Structure formats: structure tokens, C-alpha cells
Amino acid sequence: HEVLELARIAPDAGTPEHAPAAERSVVGRRLVNGERTLQVIDVAALLRRYAETAISAKGASAAQARKTADPAAPAYMVFDAGGMFAAPIDGVQEVVALPDELRPRLGAGIPATLQWREQPVPVMPIADSLVALPAQAARQLVVIRQGGRLAALAIAGVKAMVPRGTAHRNRMRLQGRP
């Protein structure tokens, strides 16, 4: 379909081959040919730079990444609540099936209370102009504790568990809100 020019790619002059791996540039090699520049990414250097990639690593590289991960970083539970959400696992108390008697109240937008371990827990929907979980899609409740208070969130299901030290939280704003 196409004829491409063959070219030799020389090592990048700015990155000595004997430099420690942590100091090497992600762009390992580059070729400048007239007006065009071809840059070759050193994938191994790129993955070493970001600890989050350890979640998919195998063998010795995974063990090394876990050793260097921040032990104070939280683990997360990812769930579907009309959108993908993550909560620090330390605050999650339990995931329970949605009781049938609560479904009509949630569908009508009426406040609902879950009786959980002999205590009342308010069921709070995660709903606004960006995301909303229809009552018929809710199958479970995740009971969370924050600052001594309990709440239950209606969810469609748990999607993933993210181990400690393999992810970090970024802040962003949507429609003027954090």
C-alpha cells in the first residue's frame, strides 16, 4: 500500500547509554531527517516512571514495583453507580444486596433507610446532572463509613479492586464543580 524510506536510528546524544535507568529519557532514540523528526519511546523507561503500571506487571517486575509503592496509599473499590466511581477501601464496610422493599422508594425518589447490623443507615443516591443510576439498575448497596457516619450508596455492581500503591487520585472539575 505504501513505500516507506528506510533509515538508521542513532542513539540519542542527550542520554548516555551508561546512565542509570531512572535518569534515562523516555524518548530513547530520535532521528532527524530534514524537516521530519522520528522519536522512539523507551517503553520500559516509561513504565518504570509510573508506579501505577505495576497493577498489570507480572513476576519479578511486579514484586519490585510493590516494594517501591507507597504503603500509606489507599486501596480502592471501583463500582458502577450510573458512572464509574472509586472509594477508598478502608471506608467500605460491606456490599449487600438491595432489599426488594427499598426499590420502590428509590424509584420514587423517596428517602430510604437500610437496616444494617441492627442500625439504620440512610440510602443516598449518587445522582446529579452528570450521572444517575436508574432504580431498576441498582442491584446492591455499598455501606460506607466516613468520619463516624454511615451511608449506603445504591450501585449496579462492583467492577474492580485496586491494590494499595498502584493508583492515585486526581482532582478535576466538571460543570464548575470539583
pTM of the model as a whole: 0.56
Distance CA 105, CA 109 (A): 6
pLDDT of residue 27: 63
User: Beta-strand (E) ranges in 6-75?
Assistant: 27-33, 36-41
pLDDT of residue 107: 84
Of 162, 163, 161, 158, the C-alpha closest to 96 is 158
Long-range contact pairs involving 104-110 (C-beta distance under 8 Å, separation at least 24) = 104/135, 106/135, 106/138, 106/154, 107/135, 107/136
Q: What H or E segment, with its residue span, contains residue 92?
A: strand 92-97
Residues of the chain with pLDDT under 70: 7-40, 46, 48-71, 127-131, 168-169, 171-178
Burial code (b: 16+ CB inside 10 Å, e: under 16) for 124-139 equals: ebbeeeeeebebeebe
pLDDT of residue 21: 55
Q: What H or E segment, with its residue span, contains residue 153?
A: strand 149-155
pLDDT of residue 134: 80
Instruction: Give the single-character DSSP code of 132.
Output: -
Burial code (b: 16+ CB inside 10 Å, e: under 16) for 9-40 equals: eeebeebeeeeeeeebbeebebeeeeeeeeee
**What would the grid cell of residue 155 be?**
450501585
